[in-house]
Every structure is written in C-alpha cells, then in structure tokens.
Amino acid sequence: MRTKEIGPDEMAPIQGGDCGQGPALLAGLARLTRIEWKWVIIGACVAVTVYLALVPLIYLLWQSFFTPQTAAKAAEFTFGNYVGAYASPDTVKLMANSLEFGLGTAAFSFLLGTSLAWMNERTNAPLKSMFFALSLVPLVIPGVLFTVSWIMLGSTKIGLINLALHRWFGVEAAPINVYSMGGMIWVDGLHYSPMAFLLMSAAFRAMDPSLEESAMMSGASVRQVLWRITLRLSWPAVFATFLILFVRAIESFEVPALLGLPAGIEVFTSSIYEAIHHYPSQVGLASAYAMSLLLLTCAGTWFVSRLSASGSKYATMTGKGFRPRQIDLGAWRWPLAGVFVVYFLLILVLPLGVLLWSSLQHYYAVPSAAALKHLTLDPYRFVLHYPNLWHSVWNSLLLSFGAATAIMLMTAVICWIVVKTKFPGRWLLDNLSSLPMVFPGLVLGLSVMIFYLHVDIGVYGTLWILFIAYVTRFMPYGLRFNTTSMLQIHKELEESSAMSGASWSTTFFRVVLPLLKPGLISGWIYIMIVSIRELSSSILLYSPGNEVISIVIWEFWENGQYVELSALAVLFILMLLALVMGFQLLARRFGIKEN
C-alpha cells in the first residue's frame, strides 16, 4: 500500500457522516475504530523507534558538557570533560592505541578470513565441506570466554603454550604474551576471522566465474588471476568488509578490558569502562570518550554505506548463484588442508579444550600426568548450586526472548512504512532505526544508564533497563532481516487483500506478517543468540539481583574463580550450541517451507 491508499481512511468518516442515517452512522463508527487501530499501531511503533534511537544519544551528548552531580553541588556546564579528555598527552596515546588495535585487528582477521574464503570457494582443497559448517561455531562463542581461554593458553605465567614450549623445547623466556598489543590483535582478530570469512565467501560466490576463466584463457597464472581479477572485482566487498571489521574492533570491549587493562594498554572502550568503574565515577569524562568513539564508528559506517550505494559500478557482480570453476591446487592440496586444521586448532580446539580441562580441576593447573589424577566435577557442582546462576539464566532467556519478539514485531511495522509506503520522511525513519548500529555496546550502555539515572521513571536498577538497551542495540538487525523479506512481498498481495474487503490491520496481520515469516524467524533467532551473549551494554546496566549469564561469568573472572568460570563456560557454550541447533530445526519447519 502507498500513502495514496492510506490517505483514503482519513476521509472515510466524512463520507460516513454525510449519510447521517442510523446504519450508515454505525458503519462510519465501525470504520473509525478500525482506522484508529491502524494509526495507533503505526504511531506507537514510530514513536518508540524514534525515542529509543535518539533520546539517550542526545542526553549523552548533553551530559558530556556537564560536571558530575554530587550531593553538595549541582551539575554545571563545562568544557572540562573534553579538555580533560583531549588536553592530556595520554589521549594521543589512547587514540593511537585505538587505531592500532582497530586497524591491526581488522587487517589480521581480514587476511585470515579472505585467504580461507578463497581456498574454500575457489580451490579444490580437501575438508572444505566440513570447514564451512565449523566456521560458524566460533561466532557463537561469547567474546569474554574466547578471551579468557586465550589467557589460559597464552599468558606468560600460566599459558599452556608457553609451558609446553618450555617443557618440550626448553624455551626459557615465555615467547608468547597475550597481555600485549600483539596479543590483543591476535585474540580479537582470530575470534572475528569467521566474520571476514563469511563476508568474503559471499563476495567470491557472487562473482561471475567466466570473468576469471577468460583471464585464465588469456594466459594468466593462478596468482595473476587472483591478484588482477578476483581481488580487483571484489574490491567493493574487500573495502566494505575491512571497514566493518574495523568498526567492530573499535567497539570491542572484552579483549581491551581483559588483556589491555592489565598491560596498561588503554583504548576508548576500556577507558570508558575505567572512567565509570573508578570511584568517583567520571560520567562526563566517559561521555566525552564515548563521543569520540561514536565519531569513529559513524565515519566507518558512513563509508560502508557510501560504498554499497556506489556498488552498481561493479555490475559484474550480479548476485546470481554461479557454480564457480575451482582452481586445481595439485600437490598443494594437502599442505593447504593443513592450514584448515591448524586454524581450527587455534580457534576452536585449543580454546574449548583448555576451558574443558580447567573445568575439571580443583585449582587451575597445567595439564600433566599428576593433574590428570585429580580430575573432579566439583566446579560443575559449585556452578550448578551457585545461588545466582538459575536466576541469571532465567533473566538472560527472558530478556533475549522479550527483546527478540518486541524488535521483530516493531521493526515489521517500521519496515512496512519504509518499504511499502510513500510517506514523506520515511527515509529518515529508516536511518533513525538503523542508527543504533553505530553505537558501540558500551556507549549505548552508558547513554541508557545516564538517561535513566537522571530521568527517573522507575526502570533504573530493574530488568527493564537491560530490555530497553537490548531492544535499542539490536533493532537495526531486526530491521535488516525484515526488510529483506518485505522487499520480496509484491504490493499486489496487499492490494488484493484490500480489494477483498480487508482493513489495514487485517491485511497486516493475516497477509503481511505471515509472508514475512522467513525473515521474522531468522531475525528473531539471530537476536536471541546475540542478546544472550551480550556483555558490553549489560556491564554498565546490571544491578545485584538482575545479573545475566555473561555478567556472572564476568564476576567469576574478577573474583579469580577460574575453574568455576571454566565449568560455567562449558555449560554456557553447550547451551548456546543447543539453542542454535534447536533454532535451526525451528527455522526449517517454519521459515524455509515457503521459499
């Protein structure tokens, strides 16, 4: 439907009123109630979206110009926060660290992901089919657990790799140290390499293989084809992927907090956390840092969107499903298969192995024959009887279920307005609801915290504040999933419903929503998973009694309860994998049937 068809309803009561007779009047009234429903639904969704996207952000900007409010003194206007944040020489260091970490991580995960994607899509390397399925698993593992497991592997004191090198090769000084910039880049880059792999795989798959084949026929070697044709043609995808990875790395919280802070390497996210968590908390300073971080992510996201807008220049990427010709690696097949194996060792087997090992110990101990004798299930017993555990599991499930459901229904309406109507200003609505995409989790947490601390409507210190943060943060994903589906619904499907006599809300609930189902369900599942893992917003918003699972893990780490943390980690990862598999069954039953 379009505005032109929405407009009619406004006028309908006038027409009903004209008749002035009993039945006509009744019909007019009935029509009026129906119209009201439509506008109530649309109005509520738009209002909530705009509120969620804008209000905390504006408040954050506002607060960054004020001194902290104390019992003795009211807040005053000041540039002090920005002066404090930027005048100090530490800030140059902070900026440099952030950029080094962001660029390094992006470059590392990009190189890793792209080479794996090329091997997987374009060569006949063995073990490929297994690789694609396994590459999704690391994305399910929460960042905090991946980081912790790499501390257990690569710290100078307790790191298993260092100890193994020492024992077997007699290396004296620990050669590997994750508490360093290199270590941070290694861990974060490794964790997000599957993301690069998936994005670049899609790019390689969308390319017409005849473009490569004609280069081959012109006499180019495998390397020349890769460098001169494949990568050049994928250039928009290459650049976009790199930027996405950069923005994500800049927002990353777990690695800078767990690895960077002990080593004295601060980036924006960890500085924000420090500013809030030191007594007295410096909200203004944190806001000033948050604004700079926001500028960085905005710039990155803006470039990505510009890039995809100008993508039509590369019309060779048709998006059709081709069956690409595969390059024969010959004798190199098996060494390259070895690369896959080593990669999985590093990203999956070693991290999960070390967590499993330490979850079976009384105290954290290095694997040895002696330690093997002391295996125990005590950490699991401790975790399962931990007073806060079941409560936090319930909170996590409740929050992610609620957030996913609310987001998908709300964005369905928003996306209907954006895609199907010609409302003036609908592009603004689209951009507003995508805006939270650029909020780093920590910045969003900060702005929501400050806003509801000052504007007391009774949500601060309850689960609701987490719910608000989750809905805001993951709203853009819901919109994307719904938009993809909505674009496939021909407008005549709605028009024929109107011609059959259905009102707007009947059409929306009985035609649009059922047709959106594939997008609704996959978006819902995605948001469920990411909200269960959420840490960086929750860490500023939780209060005792309202913990979620990731917070309990964080608390274990802060208390040094490593074996208990490992036990919880193993259970958590198992639960996430079970959820993912359950959801896939669900999607197959409901979502895919219609395609």
Partner 1 sequence: MLKVDALCTEYKNEQGQAVRAAHDVSFDIAEGEFFTLLGPSGCGKTTTLRSIAGLERPKSGQIRVGGTVVFDGAKKVFVAPNQRGFGMVFQSYAIWPHMNVYENAAFPLRVNRRLRLPKLQEEQKVMRVLKAVQLDHLRQRQATQLSGGQQQRLALARALVMEPKLLLLDEPLSNLDAKLREAMRFELKRLQRELGITTVYVTHDQGEALAMSHQIAVMSQGQIQQLGSPRDIYERPRNRFVADFVGATNFLDGRVLAPAGDGLYTLQTEIGPLRAGAVEPLRAGDTAILSIRPEELRLSEQRPEGEALQATLEQKIFLGEAVDVRIRIGGRTLLSRAHPSLRIHVGQPVWVTIDPRQSVAMRAEAALAA
Which residue lies nearer to partner 1 by CB, 11 or 369?
Answer: 11
To partner 1, the closest distance from the beta carbon of 510 in angstroms equals 7
Name, in order, each residue with C-beta under 8 angstroms of 18's C-beta and a sequence gap of 6 or more: none
The count of C-alpha atoms lying within 13 angstroms of the C-alpha of 547, restricted to the half-sphere facing its C-beta, is 18
To partner 1, the closest distance from the beta carbon of 386 in angstroms equals 45
Q: Of residues 498-527, which lie at the interface with partner 1 (CB under 8 A)?
A: 498-503, 506, 510-511, 514-515, 517
Which residue lies nearer to partner 1 by CB, 7 or 458?
Answer: 7
Measured over all CA atoms, what is the biggest interatomic distance in the chain, rounded to whole angstroms?
Answer: 100
**432 CA to centre of own chain:** 18
Which residue lies nearer to partner 1 by CB, 424 or 560?
Answer: 424
Instruction: Dump the DSSP string for 471-511.
Output: HHHHHHHHHHHHHHHHHTS-HHHHHHHHHTT--HHHHIIII
- The window from 9-17, 58-66, 235-243, 552-560 that contacts partner 1 (CB under 8 A) reads 9-17
Which residue lies nearer to partner 1 by CB, 129 or 595?
Answer: 595
Which residue lies nearer to partner 1 by CB, 472 or 482?
Answer: 482
Alpha carbon distance 26, 23 (integer Å): 5
Which residue lies nearer to partner 1 by CB, 378 or 495?
Answer: 495
To partner 1, the closest distance from the beta carbon of 463 in angstroms equals 35
Which residue lies nearer to partner 1 by CB, 210 or 488?
Answer: 488
To partner 1, the closest distance from the beta carbon of 318 in angstroms equals 23
To partner 1, the closest distance from the beta carbon of 489 in angstroms equals 10
Q: Of residues 17-76, which lie at the interface with partner 1 (CB under 8 A)?
A: 18, 30-31
- The window from 193-201, 426-434, 492-500, 520-528 that contacts partner 1 (CB under 8 A) reads 492-500
Alpha carbon distance 349, 334 (integer Å): 20
5 binds partner 1 (CB under 8 A): yes
326 binds partner 1 (CB under 8 A): no
Count of CB atoms situated within 10 Å of the CB of 152: 24
Question: In terms of residues, how long is the chain?
Answer: 595
Burial 464-495 (b: 16+ CB within 10 A, else e): bbbbbbbbbbbbbbbbbbbbebbeebeeeebe
Instruction: List the one residue out of 584, 400, 589, 575 whose CA is nearest residue 478.
Output: 400
To partner 1, the closest distance from the beta carbon of 497 in angstroms equals 7
Site size toward partner 1, by CB under 8 A: 32
Alpha carbon distance 441, 446 (integer Å): 9
Q: How far apart are the first and last CA of the chain?
A: 23
9 binds partner 1 (CB under 8 A): yes
Torsion angle of alpha carbons 181, 185, 188, 191, nearest 10°? -140
SS3 at position 177 = coil
To partner 1, the closest distance from the beta carbon of 515 in angstroms equals 6
456 binds partner 1 (CB under 8 A): no
Count of CB atoms situated within 10 Å of the CB of 554: 22
Report the residue from 497, 537, 546, 566 that binds partner 1 according to the rule CB under 8 A: 497
Does residue 290 contact residue 60 with C-beta atoms inside 8 Å?
yes
**Per-residue contact track with partner 1, 415 to 454, x per CB under 8 A?**
-------x--------------------------------
To partner 1, the closest distance from the beta carbon of 406 in angstroms equals 23
Which residue lies nearer to partner 1 by CB, 180 or 484?
Answer: 484
> Six-digit token pair at 514?
């059922």
Which residue lies nearer to partner 1 by CB, 1 or 443?
Answer: 1
Does residue 388 contact residue 552 with C-beta atoms inside 8 Å?
yes
391 binds partner 1 (CB under 8 A): no
Count of CB atoms situated within 10 Å of the CB of 380: 18
To partner 1, the closest distance from the beta carbon of 49 in angstroms equals 25
Number of H helices, E strands in the chain: 31, 0
Which residue lies nearer to partner 1 by CB, 12 or 165?
Answer: 12
Instruction: List the one residue out of 244, 257, 253 whose CA is nearest residue 444.
Output: 253
> Six-digit token pair at 561?
């309860």
Which residue lies nearer to partner 1 by CB, 166 or 517?
Answer: 517
Which residue lies nearer to partner 1 by CB, 7 or 387?
Answer: 7
Report the residue from 74, 363, 370, 492 that binds partner 1 according to the rule CB under 8 A: 492
Secondary element (H or E) of residue 47: helix 22-63
- Where along the sequence are the contacts to partner 1 (CB under 8 A)? 4-5, 7-9, 11-12, 14-15, 18, 30-31, 422, 490, 492-493, 495-503, 506, 510-511, 514-515, 517, 594
